[in-house]
Amino acid sequence: MAVVLLTGFEPFGGQAVNPSWQAVQLLASHWDGPAELVTLELPVDFRTAGPALADAIASAQPDVVIAVGQAGGRPDVTVERVAINVDDARIPDNGGYAPVDEPVVDGGPAAYFSTLPVKACVAAMTEAGVPASVSQTAGTFVCNHVFYRVVHELTARPGARGGFVHVPFTPEQAAGTRHPSMSLEAVAAGLDAVVRTTLSTTDDLRVTGGTTH
């Protein structure tokens, strides 16, 4: 049976919760798919998130790694296409560290593309009624850091695939603001579609004008 490592993050930026970890937990609580699901809550910390991820990959030996993070202000679930080798923090992480123009991995490639079937995942979420799109940037905060580390770590595991998904605020987080939001149930349904699509799809779909082919 295939093994899927699914990660979310602890709260940060003054928030009491992080929907990425909440949705991962919700999905895991009723998962009935064709794989073993292993979950991990990562720290929002440039210096410790990578080692925690690497340890989990070494322990679980996953076939698929899907990291999930919060993108407050985005209206839908976004599957990231590319991670760049840059840490550049607008605010300090939870450890108080705010790197400026530092590499994620010294000597690593300038960027890594996701090895998930990005557009097929978006198509599957849309078909399931979950608003979704492809994102061309994961930023330069800890989410991008972890995304880069996911693909970097998996270069040592031929055949293993990985990538990153950003999720919106929950309605509770967005209350009293103009930020868009999405229920945890919808986010978990989206992640369910991403996991199942990745397990069943090798070649990505091409999506043009709303038509998949």
Q: Are strands 207-208 and 211-212 parallel, antiparallel or unpaired?
A: antiparallel
Of 121, 143, 145, 153, which one is the catalytic site residue? Answer: 143
Of 145, 152, 166, 185, which one is the catalytic site residue? Answer: 166
- Residue 194, judged by CB atoms within 10 A of its CB (0-12, 13-18, 19+), counts as buried
Of 80, 121, 145, 153, which one is the catalytic site residue? Answer: 80
166 in catalytic set: yes
**Which tokens in the block code for residue 184?**
């945890």
**In angstroms, rounded to a whole number, what is the distance separating the alpha carbons of residues 127 and 157?**
31
80 in catalytic set: yes
Asked whether 6 and 37 are in contact (CB, 8 A), the reply is: yes
- Residue 159, judged by CB atoms within 10 A of its CB (0-12, 13-18, 19+), counts as exposed
Q: Which of 103, 96, 156, 166 is nearest to 133 (CA)?
A: 166
Q: Are strands 132-135 and 111-113 parallel, antiparallel or unpaired?
A: unpaired
The secondary element (H helix, E strand) that includes residue 133 is strand 132-135
**In angstroms, rounded to a whole number, what is the distance separating the alpha carbons of residues 56 and 114?**
19
Q: Which of 149, 142, 185, 199 is nearest to 166 (CA)?
A: 142
Q: Active-site positions? A: 80, 143, 166
